[in-house]
Chains A and B, each alone.
Chain A
Amino acid sequence: MPIVLEQLSHLYRSGPSTTTALEDINLTIEDGELLALIGHTGSGKSTLAQHLNGLLQPSAGRVLLDGQDINQQGAHRRALRFQVGLVFQYPEHQLFEETVYKDIAFGPKNMGLEAEEMDRRVRSAMELVGLPFDEMQGRSPFELSGGQMRRVALAGVLAMQPRVLVLDEPTAGLDPSARDYLLGDIQRLNDQGTTVVLISHAMDEVARLATRVAVLERGRLVMEGPTTDIFTQQERLNAMGLDIPESYKLARRLNEAGLDLHGHYAMDELADQIAQAIKGGGGDAA
């Protein structure tokens, strides 16, 4: 079920002036991939995310899901929103129910599911994000810690069992351990077959998770390709005000220093490669 964006443009009107938020975006999101969307603040990432499940209407162009234009006359947008789950920035700000259980069940309830199926989904969503069901289900979401609240909000979207999950800055404002936990959740979901679109400012997260990266600048899609190809173009990214992951910086300096590293430079792979290169080098010296 790929999502295809065809010459997508979006204009914001505010009074007499219009701002172009997105301009002529062509992008295909493949099944099962983990695509990261990066770009400077105001580059149109969040606007793009909202187009993926029809929350915004394109000013021009189309959004195709399974080959169907999601904005055409008679398109069942509500049914579509259940297939593409969108987790907004600071999703814990949308919690409103008395108990964790009820809040997570809000989406499934809107889908019109049977009580039994709803219960099953709430349980599995809570399990997915690591919230112990018996302990947490009856508590008020407002007495939880920030990291737990965010996991409840994420579970609220996961309980709808979307086939595509769009996350807008999911780790913003979390402490390192909560962040690490959440990234693990996202990785696990993707491994289980959910397509993930990750919007992030944190390049290290992108390097750790994404298989492909798309770069937006001032509403235009300027770069797109496998993670390694994008992050090895440091000068271009820097010119856009974007940084590259620490591991890529290190790899670059080691390569300049004469070490022969190649391939994927996410932290774990890099460590292996360095170990190998050093062993190889050590062997020569001996």
Chain B
Amino acid sequence: MLRDITLGQYYPVDSVVHRLDPRAKIVLAFMYIIAVFMVPSLWLYLPVLAYLVLATWLSKLPARMMLRSLRPMRIILIITFILNLFFASGTTPLLRLGRVTIWQEGLMNALVFTFRLVFLVTGSSILTLTTSPVTLTDGLERLASPLKVIKFPAHEMAMMMTIALRFIPTLVEEADKIMKAQTARGADFESGNLMARARAMIPLLVPLFISAFRRAGDLAMAMEARCYRGGEGRTRLNKLQFRTRDLLALLTMLALYLVILLPGWLW
């Protein structure tokens, strides 16, 4: 039951995109998000779509997977669409339903906003699908390391993220196990009103917290036993290297910006 939770899901295949430097991918993802927000009209989502399809194809990700990332968003998407459709006013009426009028501008707005969400979610999921959590935090740490000048604990933040991500599956498994053990003792997690259900979580949450604290203690001990003492003077086994292909990837993003923004400048 809890196994269905997917968080920062990584799709492990070997592709050009997978091999890109995580720093390049993080920057790309940020630039992509900004690009999606800058698209001025509905038609200019076409180049964004083309970029997305190209990126998906290069990452060897199944299209099904990309669409699946939209599933949890479907209600928000529908609400966005409906709200924009009915509550915008314009000059060109398209359809009259009793007292409600649907305007052409409203429809356009609704489409733009909905597509914006769709492209945001699918595009940014490429980052987590093609980058393993450890590589991702590694990239974040390196990107944030200039901030060490102002005492920002870049290494510690990255280490905390890595550990948190590492232990999600472990805790999910643990929760599953405890849930089964309590079910075997007649606990009922599925029926009753909200209060009854919240109360039913106690036999699950107390052991789960205790085990999380125990694991944290064990891990801290194991890290100290291996002489971990923070990021100071720490070297790496796999050093990140910014290569030509990373530069090329960033250039493709610049090309996308040009395509989106050029029409606005020219006309």
Residues of A in contact with B (beta carbons under 8 Å apart): 14, 50, 53, 55, 78, 81-82, 85-86, 88, 91, 93-96, 106-107, 110-111, 142, 156-157, 160
Contact = CB atoms under 8 A, between A and B. Distances in A.
B148 interface: no
Contacts of A107: 185-186
Interface in B198-217: 202-203, 206-207, 210-211
Interface of B: 3, 174, 177-178, 180-188, 202-203, 206-207, 210-211
A93 B207 contact: yes
A14 B253 CA distance: 35
Contacts of B178: 93-94
B113 to A, nearest CB: 32
Given A14-B3, A93-B178, A94-B178, A110 B207 contact: no
Interface of B is mostly: helix
Nearest to B204: A96
Nearest to A84: B184
A81 B183 contact: yes
B147 to A, nearest CB: 37
A55 B180 contact: yes
A62 B255 CA distance: 61
11 contacts: A50-B180, A81-B184, A86-B184, A88-B177, A94-B203, A94-B207, A96-B203, A106-B203, A107-B186, A156-B185, A160-B186
Contacts of B185: 81, 94, 106-107, 110, 156-157, 160
Q: Which 4 A-B pairs have the closest CB atoms?
A: A110-B186, A96-B206, A107-B185, A86-B184
Contacts of A88: 177, 180-181, 184
B188 A142 contact: no
A53 B183 CA distance: 10
A78 B184 contact: no
B184 A110 contact: no
B10 to A, nearest CB: 11
Given A55-B184, A82-B186, A111-B186, 5 more contacts: A85-B184, A93-B177, A106-B185, A107-B186, A156-B185
Contacts of B211: 93
A86 to B, nearest CB: 4
A91 B178 CA distance: 9
A85 B183 CA distance: 11
Given A14-B3, A94-B207, A96-B202, A110 B188 contact: yes
A140 to B, nearest CB: 12
B185 to A, nearest CB: 4
Nearest to A107: B185
A245 B180 CA distance: 32
A139 B185 CA distance: 21
Contacts of B177: 88, 93
Contacts of A55: 180, 183-184
A14 B188 CA distance: 26
A169 B178 CA distance: 16
Contacts of B184: 53, 55, 81, 85-86, 88, 157
Nearest to A89: B177
A78 B185 CA distance: 9
Nearest to A13: B3
A69 B1 CA distance: 23
A199 to B, nearest CB: 14
A57 to B, nearest CB: 12
B253 to A, nearest CB: 30
Contacts of B186: 78, 81-82, 106-107, 110-111, 160
A106 B186 CA distance: 8
Nearest to B186: A110
A85 B181 CA distance: 10
